[in-house]
Amino acid sequence: MLDEFLEKSQELRKKQEPFAIAIVVRREAPSSGKTGDKAIVNKFGDIIGWVGGGCVRAIIIKEAEDAMKSGKPRLVRIGNSLHNTHQESVMEYKMTCQSEGTVEVFIEPVLPLPHLVVMGKTAIAKSLVKLAKATGFKVTAVASDAKIDTFEKPDELITRYNLDQVKTGPSTFIVVATQGEQDETALEQALGKDHSYLGFVSSRKKGQTVMDYLRNAGLNENAIAAIKSPAGIDISAKTPEEVAISILAEIIAVKSELPDAEGFTKFDETREEAGKPKFYINPVCGVPVDINNPKHIIEYQGEKVYFCCDGCKTKFELEPEKYMHKAKA
């Protein structure tokens, strides 16, 4: 079980996909989840492993999504005897299903590394790749005819100025440090990719000339205006290493202003993309139910209503109008 858990977490890290680790840290019998039980919740809301069934499972899915969206861990308490202490990062749920016991689960989000694309094989480009790797970035190095030893251990190496196969997103940063080698081609490629930052290493005069070329080529004016040229903050840098530091400092400043967990996609969207059914919000307890695997389904006024446990179904049947009104509100 532990081997499968570790293997799955390593697989998701390699894919640069967000996921959350859930571990049972405390349990009061009877409860199906036992101390030490662990699971992974992936970006589709699927649980790999075991931390409990019924309401516990549904609540953990909901809290894992919130953890990935915020980038913040939390302790989740589920049971009949709660303290209502309103502690920071502690979420408490009254057990709605017909069972006893209490379970506490710690949820830790694991988010993709920020992604830096460095274009060029100049001394500045090489220094930036080395520095970014040491700072915790996933690094893609792009340079015409680059060899395996051109850069110091990038995660990805592209040997021509073409980004078609490079996956980028809102937490991707691109630096064009070609310095005379296909500057315009590299920038055109960069402008065609999703990113939060695009920097061009050049003098102000050279930068203006290249920007004029891009405008005359019909590229988007707003996108061109957003290019940082010269790239980096002004620290009177002289050496390639100092220039790389100034650029990385500018990127870190931009990264710190991004929303928490930028790039995380909601479960419903990713499930739909993968051809999986969406979640249905249980109108009684407010937690998501996989419509492909509910505990109960009943039909109310022509609408299917899905439940995670016996207790929620029983409560709904007693006051269906109350719960449907609450859900719609």
- Does residue 303 form part of some domain? yes
> 149 and 16, same structural domain?
no
Tell me the pLDDT of the chain (329 aa) as tens digits: 678 888 999 999 888 889 999 999 998 877 778 899 999 999 998 899 999 887 788 889 989 999 998 889 999 998 876 666 677 889 888 766 555 678 999 999 998 889 999 999 999 999 999 999 999 999 999 999 999 999 999 999 999 999 999 999 888 999 999 999 999 999 999 999 999 999 999 999 999 999 999 999 999 999 999 999 999 999 999 999 999 999 999 999 999 888 766 667 778 788 877 877 778 888 888 778 888 878 899 999 998 999 888 888 889 999 999 998 877 76
Model pLDDT, residue 106: 98
- Does residue 76 form part of some domain? yes
Q: Are 118 and 175 in contact (CB under 8 A)?
A: yes
Containing domain of residue 243, as a range?
115-256
Model pLDDT, residue 155: 94
Could you say which of 110, 142, 177 is where a domain stops? 110
Could you say which of 110, 125, 144 is where a domain stops? 110
- Does residue 213 form part of some domain? yes
> 223 and 103, same structural domain?
no
CA separation for the pair 42, 46 (Å, rounded) = 6
Could you say which of 110, 126, 159 is where a domain stops? 110
> 225 and 128, same structural domain?
yes
- Does residue 220 form part of some domain? yes
pTM, full prediction: 0.73
Q: Which residues, other chains included, contact 89 with Cβ-Cβ below 8 Å and sequence gap of 6+?
A: 72, 73, 74, 75
> 144 and 240, same structural domain?
yes
Give the burial string for 216-238 (b: 16+ CB within 10 Å, else e).
Answer: eeebeeeebeebbbbbbeeeebe
Q: Are 26 and 36 in contact (CB under 8 A)?
A: no
DSSP assignment of 1-70: -HHHHHHHHHHHHHHT--EEEEEEEEEESS-S--TT-EEEE-TTS-EEE-S-SHHHHHHHHHHHHHHHHH
Which of helix, strand or coil describes residue 177? coil
> 42 and 162, same structural domain?
no
- Does residue 131 form part of some domain? yes
CA separation for the pair 167, 140 (Å, rounded) = 10
Distance of CA 308 to the CA centre of its chain: 27
**In this structure, what CATH number is given to the domain that contains residue 159?**
3.40.50.720
> 245 and 119, same structural domain?
yes
Residue 122 tokens, joined: 């100049």
Q: Which residues, other chains included, contact 203 with Cβ-Cβ below 8 Å and sequence gap of 6+?
A: 230
Residue 124 is which amino acid?
I
- Does residue 261 form part of some domain? no
E strand or H helix at 237: none
Supply the Cα-derived Rg of the chain in whole angstroms.
Answer: 25
Residue 212 is which amino acid?
D
Residue 195 is which amino acid?
H
Dihedral of alpha carbons 258, 259, 261, 267, sign: negative
> 24 and 81, same structural domain?
yes
Model pLDDT, residue 229: 95
> 277 and 238, same structural domain?
no
User: Integer distance in angstroms from the first to the last C-alpha of the chain?
Assistant: 42
HSE at residue 291, side-chain half, CA atoms within 13 A, is 12
Task: Name the domain count of the chain.
Answer: 3
